[in-house]
Amino acid sequence: MSAPGSGPAGVRISGGGADPAAPADPAGVSSPRLADLPLRDDLRGQSPYGAPQIDVPVRLNTNENPHAPSPGLVDALGKAATLAATGVNRYPDRDVEDLRADLAAYLRPDAGFALTPAWVWAANGSNEVLQQICQAFGGPGRIAVGFEPSYSMHHLIAQATATGWHRLERGADFSVDPIEAAEQIRRLRPAIVFLASPNNPTGTAMPLDVIAAVCDAVTETGAGVVVVDEAYAEFRRRGVPSALTLLPRYGRLLVTRTMSKAFTLAGARVGYLAAHPAVVDALQLVRLPYHLSVFTQAVARTALAHAGELLGTVEAVKGQRDRLVAELTELGCAVAPSDANFVFFGRFADQAEVWRRLLEHGVLIRDVGIGGYLRVTAGLPGETDAFLAALRTVLAEAPQLWAPGGPAGAEGNTTTSVAER
């Protein structure tokens, strides 16, 4: 499945050529090529999702929280895993009731109402939650829509579940107009509408009036559900509300989140959803038996018990994010206002060449395939220093890499920032 902007180190499924690192076939055994297998036609020629993992000093391309768990939390996680191991001969709680109770308690302040465990579901990363949504509400003969550019896995998971995909365009400033969006939903009558707030790759939050307009249109047509992907919700700026507050009003609204970012648990693979209990019941129809291991559940509950400590790292990340926005703007870049743990910036005549030259300086960021723009994760202070220094050097050495008209804000230049459009 195609992953835009995966970079020169991205993996391509081509169905051709042999892997030179693979062992030779045993005598008398014939190994097929990918092209020889009875793969679904719509998957042929696609690439798996992924970002290049290159061994360089500064890696700011995958939106991870750069702060490792504290020694105390590592000890607590280890003890939880050890305790879970004493019963590993038994299957885990397939309904993950204790974890759902902890997640409900965590979400209540953002939701603003008495959210109960019946409103919550959890799985192996938010991507598995999204997959379960597509399995339950999508499939052959149904379509999902998304406002792009956005998180490419929405499209890829829809495709993997044989759900049709219809791309809707964002505005020039990467926003979504509520009236136009509602009109498109009434026209297309999709089974699933994907919204992302904050959006990836732009980092921009979606106003609640846009989400409400889409939900109203879906309610009117009676055709589908609305998924608001809030993977980066904890990083939003003060005063920016969560779509969780709309749950009592809309029975077909689903809000997904992850513990990979704010909770520094990218390696643990824990994602979750809040929605009306009937939606949770629907997802349990397609979930695999015992899908969350005893270790995953134990680690997630331990992290939630240390939420105060972990959310302290969120404030540090937000500080570096805001620093990036300020210094990139001062440098002359067009910068999207970010409510995430990354910054989307440009405008360049050749963003791929900027990406390559930064890599030569030991800094890896993300080219997501949007002409003129790149994305950088907010890292540790030293990583921010290294990135900004490398970018200044690259643009000083090759000013032709700026888009025509030069840097935004230059005298006589009419280029506007993303925030100003």
The 10 Å Cβ neighbour count of residue 278 is 10
Quick one: 361 and 277 in the same domain?
no
Count of beta carbons in the 10 Å neighbourhood of residue 357:
19
Q: Is residue 414 part of a domain?
A: yes
In this model, does residue 419 exceed pLDDT 60? no
CATH classification at residue 160: 3.40.640.10
Structural domain contains residue 279: yes
In this structure, are 388 and 277 located in the same domain?
no
**φ/ψ (deg, to 5) at 334:** -80, 125
Distance CA 161, CA 251 (A): 24
| Residues 389 and 340 grouped into a single domain | yes
**376 and 241 housed in the same domain:** no
Q: pLDDT grade, residue 345 (50/70/90)?
A: very high
Whether residue 331 is found in the same domain as residue 259: no
Does the pLDDT value for residue 29 go beyond 80?
no
- As a whole number, mean pLDDT of residues 301-328 equals 95
Q: Give the Cα separation of 386 and 363 in Å (integer).
A: 7
Residue 76 tokens, joined: 């607590």
* Percentage of the residues of the chain whose pLDDT score is greater than 90: 80
Question: Residue 412 above 90 pLDDT?
Answer: no
Same domain, residue pair 261 and 317: no
Q: What is the CATH number of the domain that holds 365?
A: 3.90.1150.10
Q: Which of 229, 257, 292 is the last residue of a domain?
A: 292
When the pLDDT of each residue in the chain is averaged and rounded to a whole number, the result is 90
Q: Is the pLDDT of residue 22 over 80?
A: no
Q: In the numeric block, which tokens belong to residue 355?
A: 């990406």
Same domain, 126 and 211: yes
**pLDDT per residue over 170-203, tens digit each?**
998 899 999 999 999 999 999 999 999 999 999 9
Q: Report the percent of the chain where pLDDT is more than 70.
A: 90
Identify whether residues 201 and 324 lie together within a single domain. Answer: no
pLDDT in tens, 257-293: 999 999 989 999 999 999 999 999 999 999 999 999 9
Instruction: Give the pLDDT confidence score for residue 409 in this predicted structure.
Output: 59
Do 325 and 415 have their domain in common?
yes
Whether residue 243 is found in the same domain as residue 360: no
Mean pLDDT in residue range 217-228: 96
Are residues 410 and 339 both part of a single domain? yes
Nearest to 256 by CA among 268, 267, 270, 266: 270
Verify cis geometry, omega within 30 degrees of 0, for the bond prior to 66: no
Backbone torsions φ then ψ of 179, nearest 5 degrees: -70, -45
Contacts of 381 (CB under 8 A, 6+ apart): 320
Position 169 confidence tier, pLDDT thresholds 50, 70, 90 = very high
Work out whether the CA dihedral 385, 387, 388, 390 comes out positive or negative.
positive
In a domain, 17, yes or no: no
Q: Point out the domain boundary residue: 257, 292, 327.
A: 292
Residue 158 falls within a domain, yes or no? yes
Whether residue 313 is found in the same domain as residue 267: no
Q: Which of 389, 392, 395, 346 is nearest to 366 (CA)?
A: 346
Domain boundary among 292, 320, 341: 292
Is 137 within the bounds of a domain?
yes
For residue 151, tell me if it sits in a domain: yes
Distances (CA, A) of 52 to 193, 203, 322, 365: 29, 20, 25, 9
Kindly indicate the confidence band of residue 30, based on its pLDDT and cuts at 50, 70 and 90.
confident
- Expressed as residue numbers, the domain containing 313 is 58-68+309-420
Q: Is the pLDDT of residue 118 over 70?
A: yes
Domain tally for the chain?
A: 2
Is 257 a member of any domain?
yes
- Residue 260 covered by a domain: yes
